[in-house]
Amino acid sequence: MAEMCSADDGASSCPSPSSSSMIMHAKGLTHTIVPLLCAAPLLAFFVLPLLWRALGSALGWYLRKKTEGRRCVILQIVAAESEMYRQSRQNSASNIKVDDDAGWDALDPENRDKSLDDWDGIVGFFHPFCNAGGGGERVLWAAIRATQHRWPKAKCVVYTGDHDVSKDAILARVRSRFNIHLHPPTVNFLYLSTRRWVLASTWPRFTLAGQSFGSLVLAWDAFSLLVPDLFVDTMGYAFALGLSKLLFPRVPTAAYVHYPTISTDMLDSLAPAAGPARGVNAGQGAGSRGAAKKLYWRAFAALYARVGASADVVMTNSSWTQGHIVALWGPHRRAARGHPIAVVYPPVAVRELEAEVDVSRESERGREKTLLYIAQFRPEKNHQLILEAFAQFLKTGSKAATEGARLVLVGSVRDDSDSKRVYELRLLVNELHIRDRVEFHLDAPWPEILEWLRRASVGVNGMWNEHFGIGVVEYQAAGLVAVVHDSGGPKLDIVVDVDGEPTGFHATTAAEFAQGFEKALTLPDPYAVRQRARKSAKRFTEEEFARRWTDQMEQLVAEGVGKKRRA
């Protein structure tokens, strides 16, 4: 018998015709929406990246069109200046003037890919602080010089924020500061107006993220001036490389990494148990604030790894840096970017030091029992550790300690904070009662530094995880016995055994440094150790840097030529 609805059942018990249609409509929507919700992750995974790449390509096309005129102007300027330069040097056999041609056969003309010899593209070097005059700038100018030697027709463009300095003034400083002579016609500068975006002072909070965002602004500024054929970052702005890949997929990119922006060592240093010798952030991981800092750093490290892995060719300045970059970037590098992450040691003025500082049996008589620490007065250089270690060494009362041993600190002072640091170090010297045995020499000129390298017996470095350590190489080239922190580049690359024998000593604590000072000043045959140290330094010459740099750049040029042919 069919069921009937009575009035007593109520309106809710028996749906009206309109209610029935609404229910059917809702069921239809459900059948439509549920599949869409299920497919949403797939759509997001496949469609959004395509849209993102399409947007990047569109913006890249816009920048190319916008900068075509400037590219033509640069090519015209290079052609005109090259002709003027050639006419002014009729008696020269080469268009490129170098300070010394000796050793440049390291570029190995016999084994190189001769099909790339005539490459005449534009290499964009992203180095917003190119006129700073530090070790990173030495790498930049030596890299440009090696590029000019390998590809004389190539044009090198430097993106810089030093808009108050002319091209002639910059190249003059390169000659006087580094003794590096470049071929002026094929070097050009494009001046950025947004460099303040990457200054730490611009981002008092969330500095890592802020400076990385600022590097995107700066890179956009650079690409708005000129889109190069190859893009090379020599300052460590990984996010600029990622932006280049997004905008210009066919432009090969390269990174020379002086140090990782963030590393696993930095994350580990936040542990409350980490001592002060482990960096300026040591022990800051305690409490809720420390937990938030850890979370922030780990999230940043993941993003940093993604953008850095986009580079086609990656070079690092040391084995320590290479290890961290491989750990961070390596897992994300696709087969298309399968070039191994290579170590290209920075160029050090080894030949100049060998010529200026005599290392012989005769010069041994002029060596004093002086411990020399050449380093800027920055907190990470850890002068305090060395002072405490020297005080402990003197307290031993050993023959080496009582026979005129002294510590000489030589370094530059950048600003008021550095001056305050020196004042605090002087107070510490007084507290440790070693005032008569310690000397400070601030902003010493190069001739004075050379004199100390001739007189001293031991070179000291107290920085934890020094990424490379150009100063330590300079110690070795001058024949000093090195006592360095047992970490980073000085441990892995520089102060290593030569011919199965040591070239110096490693230490971590003040007590270990004090023991290292004792050993270094009581060597039975210090001249033999100095010879090995100088031999070790030959691995870091400017010529060796040029050879390694050119090997990596050939991969980049070949990739650019291949992409151009396939386009």
Round to whole Å and give the CA distance between 261 and 244: 19
Higher pLDDT pick, 44 / 422: 422
C-alpha span between 231 and 223 (Å, rounded) = 10
Name the phi and psi angles at 506, rounded to 5: -115, 150
Average pLDDT over every residue of 433-444: 95
In 154-295 the beta strands, taken as DSSP E runs, fall at 155-160, 187-191, 230-233, 253-257
For residue 123, give the 3-state DSSP assignment: strand
pLDDT of residue 281: 54
SS3 24: helix
Res. 558: pLDDT tops 90 = yes
Q: What is the pLDDT of residue 176?
A: 86
C-alpha to C-alpha distance for 156 and 125, rounded to whole angstroms: 7
| CB-based burial label for 539 (10 Å; 0-12, 13-18, 19+) | middle
Q: What is the mean pLDDT of the chain?
A: 86
pLDDT for residue 132:
86
Q: Which amino acid is at 538?
A: K
Q: What is the pLDDT of residue 49?
A: 73
For position 101, what pLDDT does the model report? 41
**Three-class SS state of 504:** strand
Taking the CB of residue 82, how many other CB atoms lie within 10 A of it?
A: 17
The model's pTM: 0.82
The span from the first CA to the last CA of the chain, in angstroms, equals 78
Q: Which candidate, 379, 483, 472, places its Cα nearest to that of 425?
A: 379
Rounded mean pLDDT of 108-132? Answer: 85
Q: Is the pLDDT of residue 12 over 70?
A: no
pLDDT digits (tens, 9 = 90+) for 369-404: 999 999 989 898 999 999 999 999 999 999 999 988
Cβ atoms of 247 and 56 within 8 Å: the answer is yes
Residues of the chain with pLDDT > 70: what percent?
83
**Per-residue pLDDT at 533:** 97
Please name each of the domains of the chain with its CATH number: 69-80+97-109+118-258+309-347+544-566 (3.40.50.2000), 350-540 (3.40.50.2000)
pLDDT value of position 67: 96
pLDDT tens per residue across span 34-55: 555 565 665 555 667 788 788 9
> Average pLDDT in the 191-204 region?
93
Helix (H) or strand (E) holding 478: none
Mean predicted confidence (pLDDT) in 542-566:
90
The sheet with strand 253-257 has its strands ordered as 187-191, 155-160, 122-126, 230-233, 253-257, 313-316, 342-343
The predicted structure's pLDDT at residue 98: 42
User: What is the number of alpha carbons within 13 Å of residue 396 lying toward its C-beta?
Assistant: 20
Choice among 93-102, 125-134, 337-346, 525-534 with the minimum mean pLDDT: 93-102
The lowest-confidence range among 288-292, 386-390, 548-552 is 288-292
Check residue 116 and give its pLDDT.
85
